């Protein structure tokens, strides 16, 4: 049975939310960058360190066995969260960026000059730069899918860009700037129709959407812990069994091998083949606990709450002279990017901080999208389950005061 969505009770699980900033109650609206972490997650990591910590997989003593069991239980939690077929489909990484680099590096040996990688203009740099490595080093060609006026992915553009030369399609499930949600199931069908694989960047989507990788049909799906109320330094890569078998190892070291001799080496099976060295043990356990914590709520209720906050902010700012909102598609997550005419986003963010309101400003690691929008940067407010209508009102009020100061 799901827990009731009692926002005040939820907030009590995040002590940081009770602090003041510059003499004002903190309104933390930078969740798309990193969400805060509840006591349940922090306690899970602390309790593990206090009671049973050792390196995993290699020891035979009690502490090693208990730690390995907790670590592998976290893998099973990630598997269930994504509805992956088997725990061996889940690779622990240090974050979403490493997961994407793992895949890009893993297919590099199969890339020939002229092979195509298809991306969208709203990708995060972590889903752009690793593919540029293949362009620079192996002669791959990057092709770009455009977005529509409302910020949604242009599916016709995707159909036009894929071809018999396409080796990988790499798309965000939810834009970290616009909040736009991609129809990744249809994108997967399009990629597979030309024999290409598809990687879905779910770092923003994981905290807001129900993810079913079997229903999507994708070859790879990427998560990161710190955006899903978990610790930093941990993420996960889902790969189908066939897709993972086709990848060469990303890093070499302990655990990822079977036999090492002077003149040869043989590799372990997935997932261990891609987890060289000592993994982020406590972070993985915390990641698993964060996913359990999130799934203890009815996600329909969570989405309704988050979307109500987004709607409240958008309604308050829509039509206000000099304020422009980016990404207006109805199918979007609780992320609102905006600009104020005549004011730099950094100035807006610094002034809002005076009133205790924490937002993000900059290019959000999405410079191709900024170029598409015709701006160098935007400000961004993003909402989480623990945010309240009064925090939205504080944000809107502070923004109006900032405009008066700057204009």
Residue 358, beta-bridge partner list: 28
The SS3 assignment for 271 reads coil
- Taken in order 375, 158, 162, 160, the sign of the CA dihedral is negative
Q: Find where tokens 């490493």 sit.
A: 98
Token pair of 209 as six digits: 């959407």
Beta carbons of 332 and 178 less than 8 angstroms apart: yes
Token pair of 302 as six digits: 């969570």
Active site residue 203: no
The one catalytic residue among 40, 80, 314, 365: 365
What distance in Å separates the CA atoms of residue 210 and residue 243, rounded to the nearest whole number? 23
Residue 144, beta-bridge partner list: 119
Query: Distance from first CA to last CA of the chain, Å, rounded?
Result: 52
The SS3 assignment for 381 reads strand
What distance in Å separates the CA atoms of residue 223 and residue 231, rounded to the nearest whole number? 12
Beta-strand (E) ranges in 230-292?
Answer: 235-239, 257-260, 265-267
Beta carbons of 109 and 149 less than 8 angstroms apart: no
- The number of C-alpha atoms within 13 Å of 395 and in the hemisphere containing its C-beta is 29
Q: What angle do CA 77, 229, 330 make, to 5 degrees?
A: 100
Q: Which residues are known catalytic residues?
A: 365
């Amino acid at each position: 049975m799901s827990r009731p969505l009692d926002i005040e009770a939820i907030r009590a699980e995040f002590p940081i939310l009770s602090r003041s900033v510059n003499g004002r109650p903190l309104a933390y609206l930078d969740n798309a960058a990193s969400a805060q972490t509840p006591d349940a997650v922090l306690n899970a990591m602390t309790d593990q360190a206090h009671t049973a910590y050792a390196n995993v997989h290699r020891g035979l003593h009690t502490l090693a066995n208990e730690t390995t069991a907790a670590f592998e239980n976290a893998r099973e939690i990630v598997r269930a969260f994504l509805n992956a077929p088997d725990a061996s489909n889940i690779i622990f990484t240090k974050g979403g960026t490493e997961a994407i680099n793992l895949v890009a590096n893993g297919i590099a040996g199969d890339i020939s000059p002229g092979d195509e990688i298809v991306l969208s203009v709203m990708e995060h740099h972590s889903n752009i730069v690793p593919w540029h490595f293949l362009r620079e080093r192996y002669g791959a060609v990057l092709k770009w899918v455009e977005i529509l006026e409302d910020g949604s992915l242009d599916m016709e553009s995707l159909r036009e860009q894929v071809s018999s030369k396409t080796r990988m399609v790499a798309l965000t499930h939810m834009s970290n700037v616009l909040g736009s949600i991609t129809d990744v199931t249809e994108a997967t069908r399009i990629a597979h129709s030309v024999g290409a694989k598809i990687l879905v960047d779910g770092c923003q989507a994981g905290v807001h959407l129900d993810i079913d990788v079997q229903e999507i049909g994708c070859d790879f799906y990427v998560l990161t812990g710190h955006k899903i109320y978990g610790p930093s330094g941990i993420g996960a890569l889902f790969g189908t069994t066939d897709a993972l078998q086709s990848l060469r190892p990303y890093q070499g070291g302990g655990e990822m091998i079977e036999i090492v001799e002077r003149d040869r080496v043989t590799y372990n099976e997935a997932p261990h083949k891609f987890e060289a060295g000592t993994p982020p043990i406590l972070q993985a356990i915390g990641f698993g606990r964060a996913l359990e914590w999130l799934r203890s709520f009815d996600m329909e209720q969570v989405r309704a709450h988050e979307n109500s906050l987004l709607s409240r902010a958008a309604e308050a700012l829509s039509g206000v002279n000099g304020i422009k909102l980016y990404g207006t598609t109805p199918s979007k997550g609780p992320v609102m990017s905006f600009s104020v005419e005549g004011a730099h986003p950094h100035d807006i963010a610094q002034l809002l901080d005076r009133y205790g309101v924490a937002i993000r400003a900059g290019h959000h690691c999405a410079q191709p999208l900024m170029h598409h929008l015709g701006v160098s940067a935007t400000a961004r407010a993003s909402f989480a389950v623990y945010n309240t209508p009064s925090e939205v009102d504080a944000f809107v009020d502070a923004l109006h005061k900032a405009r008066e100061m700057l204009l």
